[in-house]
Amino acid sequence: MTVRDVVHDHLTHEEPVLFPALREHVGPAEWQDFAQRVIATTPPVAGHLMVGFLDEVGTPAEVELVLSGLPEPVRPLVPAMRLQAAADLGVLRGTGA
């Protein structure tokens, strides 16, 4: 199994279930706590992929809530992280350059 297959399998089977389930059972305070834990535990390497994964499965409000926990110096980098994530995910899926 290639990295592309693993990432695709993850997105297809896990992420679309996670956010709807959380949306129904987790309130705003819990989302904020979740966002802080995601940011604190995300590896510093390839963090842009987390932004890309979140964009693919969360609503804009959910993504913003999670990303609101980013340190202020990092927040202006989010648009570039989104572009890099789209390019890298395209390569991993075999659909990008």
Higher-pLDDT residue of 23, 83: 83
- Phi-psi group of 15: left, alpha or beta (phi > 0 → left; psi -120 to 50 → alpha; rest → beta): alpha
Average pLDDT score over residue span 34-60: 83
Query: For the whole prediction, is pTM greater than 0.85?
Result: no
| Cβ count near 39 (within 10 Å) | 17
% the chain with pLDDT above 70: 94
> Residue 4 above 70 pLDDT?
no
pLDDT at position 97: 59
Please say whether the beta carbons of 6 and 14 come within 8 A: no
Higher-pLDDT residue of 78, 45: 78
Higher-pLDDT residue of 89, 6: 89
Angle separating helix axes 3-13 and 47-57, nearest 10 degrees? 40
DSSP structure class, residue 71: -
